Structure 1
Amino acid sequence: MLGIASGLSSDDIDNLSAYYSQQKIKPSYASNIELAKAGEVVYKAGDDIRGIPSCSSCHGPRGLGVPGQFPRISGQHATYTASTLKSYKNGSRANNNQMMEISSRLTEGQINALAEYLAGLE
């Protein structure tokens, strides 16, 4: 993305931002209901034993985020969400210390469950 974005002018960025902010979100839907239910528990309650706060404490109960602070994560493709969390966990994505710390405590199963839950969250 950086390779493409680095060549954009300020006007280009403003125009792209305006365009994408007007697009309708079309959430994908959870394909594994049991896995999504497990993800819902982590999303809403966290995991005290592993020191994981609830995702909803930052991203909100519906995953809509807080503009400028926490991104919208509801309706995101499960594969993208899982890949992003794994990248935070292994340090290959290092642009958010808070998410790196939280992701480092997530198990593989929790990552997959969260990704599945968020795919169907509207």
Structure 2
Amino acid sequence: MAAAETKPAAKADIAKGQAIGTQVCAACHTSDGTRGAPANPILQGQHADYLAKQLGEFKSGKRDNPIMKGMATPLSDEDMKNVAAFFASKAAPAGAAKTKDLVLLGEKIYRGGIADRSIPACAGCHSPSGAGIPAQYPRLAGQHSDYTELQLKGFRDGVRKNNAVMTGVAAKLNDREIKAVADYIAGLH
């Protein structure tokens, strides 16, 4: 087919995404992806491309989570694109750090890394404000510290295997550093 004959990609349907979000996602992530349970990610304001990619990885098994696999498996690529667009269309509320004594350590690691252990700054990929880069790096600002801590430990411990860069970075962090970074991220805005 000639380039002139190819169809442009269909635009996501936010209303269809909202229907899926309120029927399928709401129990764990709330109907609009807001704060919800601290062990689950805040979906509001996350990049649509990143959310759709993660849903596809849950469905394929590249990202291993039995609950999310069960939720993602019945979704078509179009459904994933629609639900991702719905959550991305919402403005995420600001979060807050919980452990004030760790915030300075978390900020130091997030903004500057730990040079003597070859740990890069989180801000290098996720941006100084935590906005991330669509599709490649998720928005982190305001994310639940419990969720972020769990994901970093998952990368470090080989439980979460869908991002080699994060696996390598998290492998160098100890529990206190992970907790500090997660808490700092929760307060980023």
Same fold (TM over 0.5): yes
Counterpart of 2:70 in structure 1 is: 3
Q: State the secondary structure of the residue aligned to 1:119.
A: helix
TM-score normalised by structure 1 residue count? 0.95
Counterpart of 1:12 in structure 2 is: 79
Q: State the secondary structure of the residue aligned to 1:112.
A: helix
The alpha carbon displacement at 1:2 in A equals: 1.6
> Which structure would you say has the larger RCO, counting Cα contacts within 8 Å and 6 or more residues apart?
1
Give the counterpart of 2:176 among 103, 109, 120. 109
Counterpart of 2:107 in structure 1 is: 40
The alpha carbon displacement at 1:7 in A equals: 0.1
Q: State the secondary structure of the residue aligned to 2:136.
A: coil
Letter in 1 for 2:149: A
Q: What 5-or-longer segments of structure 2 have no aligned partner?
A: 1-67
| Residue 88 (str. 1) matches residue 155 (str. 2) | yes
Q: State whether residues 36 and 113 of structure 1, in contact with CA within 8 Å, keep that contact through their aligned partners in structure 2.
A: yes
TM-score normalised by structure 2 residue count? 0.62
Q: State the secondary structure of the residue aligned to 2:116.
A: coil
Aligned residues: 122
Aligned-residue Cα RMSD (Å) equals 1.1
The alpha carbon displacement at 1:65 in A equals: 0.5
Counterpart of 2:26 in structure 1 is: none
Q: What 5-or-longer segments of structure 1 have no aligned partner?
A: none
CA distance in 2, matches of 1:7, 1:33: 42
CA distance in 2, matches of 1:44, 1:9: 38
CA distance in 1, matches of 2:75, 2:101: 43
The alpha carbon displacement at 1:37 in A equals: 1.4
| Residue 97 (str. 1) matches residue 170 (str. 2) | no
The alpha carbon displacement at 1:14 in A equals: 2.7
Counterpart of 1:50 in structure 2 is: 117
